[in-house]
Amino acid sequence: MDSTRERIVESALAVVDQMTFGELLAALTPERLAEDARWSPGTVRYQFRAAEGSLSFDRGRLADALLDRFCERSRLEAQASVAGYVAAAEQLGAGDLDSVAAAIESNMAAFRPGSAGTEATAGERVHLLALAMCDAEPAVAARLRGLQQDVLDIFAPVYDALLAATGRRPAPGFTPRELAVVVNAFLEGLLLVHRYDTSLDPAVAARAVLRAFWALTVPDEP
């Protein structure tokens, strides 16, 4: 690589390292947001003003609102999927996780690039930007932690149903909550890979998630 070109790349990385969450969304100007819309750039500045009485545009407030919308959508999607997972768990017998695997595989389809609608795709991009900012912006990290805790609460009935249907309990050293945290994290990692590597077979990923569940549980014997 040309030494000047390499130094420019290094300089660009240094600038990115210093950017805030809002600065990463620099393309979202009031003028851009007013294009083909019923509101004016002034309305955008007013709705996301830096302070009361000011019309100075605060892109950070807009970035926070975008992240809040993603979190709200994620909670609603989790709530919508719980009934299907619980029903799948209730259909299985001990050691037979095919119905749950099928439910996981079906839900993974929404994470295939191009398969989701505009809001879902844009929300996922905001989410990934937010993840990159967690070390620099504690408020962003706190929002994502809150989302994780809410999702774990929403999915608690799924784990209860799985444990009851399979006659298992968390392995020694794990609480039910910790079991959910680990399995959910494993699933989220696979979903992330699925975003950029569509060769990942959702059926294989679903079986891997359930293997993790099985490995972290033991028969519920007296």
CB neighbours (10 Å) of residue 108? Answer: 21
Q: What proportion of the chain, given as a percentage, has pLDDT over 70?
A: 91
Nearest-angstrom CA–CA distance, 102 and 217: 21
The continuous run of DSSP H or E covering 20 comes out as none
Strand partners, 218: 169
Q: What average pLDDT does range 87-105 have in this prediction?
A: 76
Lowest-pLDDT range of 77-86, 88-97, 124-133, 151-160: 88-97
CB neighbours (10 Å) of residue 127? Answer: 18
What are the start and end residues of each CATH 1.10.357 domain in the chain? 64-219
Q: What average pLDDT does range 59-82 have in this prediction?
A: 91
Q: How far is CA 150 from CA 66, 88, 121, 125, 146, in A?
A: 18, 22, 21, 21, 6
**Tokens 């408020």 belong to residue:** 139
Q: What average pLDDT does range 1-10 have in this prediction?
A: 78
pLDDT score, position 124? 83
DSSP, collapsed to helix, strand or coil, labels residue 217 as strand
Q: What average pLDDT does range 37-51 have in this prediction?
A: 91
Nearest-angstrom CA–CA distance, 25 and 20: 9
Higher pLDDT, 152 or 51: 152
Q: Which tens digit of pLDDT belongs to each residue from 171-189?
A: 999 999 999 999 999 999 9
pLDDT score, position 5? 79
**CATH code assigned to 64-219:** 1.10.357
Mean pLDDT, the chain, integer: 87
- Our CA dihedral for 205, 151, 117, 84, rounded to 10 degrees, sits at 70
Q: Decide: 176 and 159 in contact? Cβ < 8 Å.
A: yes
Nearest to 212 by CA among 200, 220, 204: 204
- pTM to 2 decimal places: 0.84
Task: Write the single-letter amino acid at 39.
Answer: W
**Tokens 């909670």 belong to residue:** 75
Q: What proportion of the chain, given as a percentage, has pLDDT over 90?
A: 45
